[in-house]
Structure 1
Amino acid sequence: MEKGGSIMNLEKLSTYESNQLLNSDEFDWFNPSMYKRVVELGFRNVEWNEIPDELLLYLFLHDEPSLGSKRKETTKKEYFREAKQFMDYVFQTSGSIRSLHHEDVQNYQLQLEQQGYKSTTLRRKSVVIQQFLSYLVNKGIIDDDLTKSMKRISVKKETLVNRDFYDTEVQALLDYYQEEDYFMYTLLYVLISTGLRIQELADAKWGNVFYQPEVGLYFLTVVGKRDKAREVPIFEDVLEVIKEFRMRRRFTGELKNDGTPFFPKASGQHYSFKYLSQKFSNEILSLQGQFEFINQRVQREEAMKEEGHNIKYRITPHTCRHYTASYFLSKGADQKAVQDLLGHESSSTTDGYLRRKRKFEEHAAVKVGKTFMSH
């Protein structure tokens, strides 16, 4: 398939020709043209025994699981990376996905574990492989449901990233950045006050800010995971900060649809969410000598690593979402409202955000006080 779109006739496509096509520099894994051709032809009319395994992976990437929604390009690339790694293993061991055995799938999971991947990473990789194998069974391409032999990945809550972010830390960083770095000041202020995911912030548009007179608040409409739109609050003090940031970059602070990003580059383009995430985390980490609490976080993380525990304590954009959840809860919002604010599908996700806050606030020691014995 050329990147422009013309494809070969799949009914007459030999295994050799398919392999030549898939391994050529011309093949674009993320171009949907060949998938559309398969749909036109009909899956039942394709001679699957003559189709190489790589094409099965290609079809999996483009065959959306539900109508009315499409996988994001970033999701497709992640699925491709994980499934391609699995396919490479298949070629080295079984030769083909069609001759794969239950033990082979188990051995692959064990091999990943031996390579030192974290439990959360193992779970992500396993989910993609599980979806890929289920897809092949559902399409009738393979007969045996190999997912039945896959091991569940246990992720203990205690081994997850520590997302605690305290008021004193937040205020210290805001005070510092307000004087030293208005970019970071704006970024931090927006993240902690809205609970936005960093990709949502990167993709947000200035024209989607609006005032809701019934409640007297400004909101920003963003599109989150699974293409769900939601409104996040933009408090007046936060709005003034973002307006100032935009005007420093020669963009309007007036609320109008001017086609610019909510948080624009100087060029007027959207930031890459990966750049913003790395920039945010690295800038805060660079203040290790400036703030003792950052230094303590780094030292605690290194100490845990030496003991064989992979717990992260560094401040990242996602840390801000946890702070937002705790902040709104402390102001009287109920957990369902916080769940809606953050765009969580499940209440258990929100509960996980608030678990550590409750762990300390409801601790038995709080009932005793600061000293054990009263004198």
Structure 2
Amino acid sequence: MNISLTTTSLRLSNQVDWFDDTLYKQVISHGYRNIDWSHIPDEWLLYLFLHEEPTLGKKRKMNTLKEYFRDIRHFLSYIHDKDSSVRRIHHEELAHYQLQLTEQGYKSMTLRRKTAVVKSFLSFLYRKGIIQEDLTRSMKQIAVEKEDLVNRDFYEEEVQALLDYFKKHNWFMYTMLFVLVSTGLRIQELSSAKWSGVYYHPEVNLYFITVVGKRDKVREVPLFEEVLEALTEFRSRRGFHSTLEDDGTALFPKPNGDAYHYKYLSNEFTNQINHLANTFSFIKRRIDMEKQMKNEGKSIKFKITPHTCRHYTAAYYLAKGADLKAIQNLLDHESSSTTDNYLRRTRKFHEHAAVKIGGQFMKNNQ
């Protein structure tokens, strides 16, 4: 990367690795106030934003960088099509950009994400004095109706039926499903977890696994005895020992001991369950309902995915008497409102008026 800094300008070669922070470090060393930003292309403002650390010492993950890069490049492309620059954009153009996104058919959750990323970018430019006005004030909030969220219902009868089937026919799926529904682990967390992270806590008589979740937050997740037995059997079938020591292998290992990529696990999990549509009516019903929703232009999804298991875990612990805060901590939710949304449909049915009168209607009036 060829970079030249002067007191008035910033010059770069056309061949730049967008995710290399060399330029960013030089700008920080040189000082934002010593650069004439009026001559800096919008794309390099994007580059600087990507490498601005919201929290000192905590870098954005590569997946986040790529997502931000894609969304802001799309935004800048819109601006450039109007022969404008991010430093000359008008409030009305921002409103029109959001309207255009809506017309392009993006769903509410995607619109919310794209809006949040663009807002963050514009706020960064305003804080650094690169633009002189807080343009985010004119951007509208994106409402996401609860009914438009993914339907993550997963019932105990369904979970048990799948566990029984996979225990006989597919130990790989049996183990993964059992771990996911009992722990509430994200699929990324299962993928990255290490066997060395498993330990026994004598004071509470439980096994735990130490995992690193979102925001690089470390937490302890319980591994119930029967779940640990399934994991141990899975590892044994792949030639790994069951003693709790650091052998360098993943908790849920490939045959060579390495970790699976979380995307592979996620796709394999969903595909294996969908292949049972002719075996279990509830799977076929979910697939049919999702197709129907799509044909009606609705975004509700019904298929069983690894994330569906986290919703089951939340509902399971609620039924066992755990309070909202405890479930929030178990699932590593930053906000209690997220946990509350997980339990929304469970509470909706439990509190439904029809439940109060039982399974029959006229008989209760006789």
> TM-score normalised to the size of structure 1?
0.94
Aligned partner of 2:341 in structure 1 is: 352
Structure 2: which 5+ runs fail to align?
none
SS of corresponding position for 2:245: coil
Aligned partner of 2:6 in structure 1 is: 11
Structure 1: which 5+ runs fail to align?
2-6
**Residue 191 (structure 2) aligned to one of 186, 202, 205:** 202
> Cα deviations across residues 9-61 of structure 1 (Å, max 9, x unaligned)?
2217967x53xx2x43xx21111111111111111112212221111111111
1:216 to 2:242 alignment: no
CA distance in 2, matches of 1:216, 1:170: 26
CA distance in 2, matches of 1:313, 1:32: 41
* Residues 94 and 100 in structure 1, CA contact (< 8 A), matched pair in contact too: no
CA distance in 2, matches of 1:46, 1:258: 52
How far the C-alpha of 1:327 sits from its partner, in A, is 0.5
CA distance in 1, matches of 2:282, 2:231: 27
Aligned partner of 2:310 in structure 1 is: 321
- In structure 1, what residue type is equivalent to 2:54? P
1:126 to 2:115 alignment: yes
SS of corresponding position for 1:9: strand
CA distance in 1, matches of 2:8, 2:192: 41
Identity value in percent: 60
> TM-score normalised to the size of structure 2?
0.96
**Residue 244 (structure 1) aligned to one of 233, 244, 255:** 233
Aligned partner of 2:268 in structure 1 is: 279
CA distance in 2, matches of 1:126, 1:328: 34
Aligned partner of 2:72 in structure 1 is: 83
CA distance in 2, matches of 1:225, 1:56: 27
CA distance in 2, matches of 1:205, 1:145: 45
Aligned partner of 1:51 in structure 2 is: 40
1:33 to 2:22 alignment: yes
* Residues 7 and 36 in structure 2, CA contact (< 8 A), matched pair in contact too: no
Cα RMSD for the two superposed structures:
1.5
CA distance in 2, matches of 1:179, 1:229: 35
How far the C-alpha of 1:307 sits from its partner, in A, is 2.8
Name which of structure 1's ranges 194-203 and 300-309 shifts more when overlaid on structure 2. Answer: 300-309
CA distance in 1, matches of 2:227, 2:180: 10
How far the C-alpha of 1:180 sits from its partner, in A, is 1.2
CA distance in 2, matches of 1:114, 1:334: 42
Aligned residue-pair number: 364
How far the C-alpha of 1:72 sits from its partner, in A, is 1.2
**Residue 62 (structure 1) aligned to one of 51, 56, 59:** 51
How far the C-alpha of 1:268 sits from its partner, in A, is 2.3
SS of corresponding position for 2:248: coil
* Pair 242,13 (structure 1): closer, same or farther in 2 beyond 3 Å: farther
Aligned partner of 1:146 in structure 2 is: 135
> Cα deviations across residues 37-90 of structure 1 (Å, max 9, x unaligned)?
111111111221222111111111111011242211111111111111111112
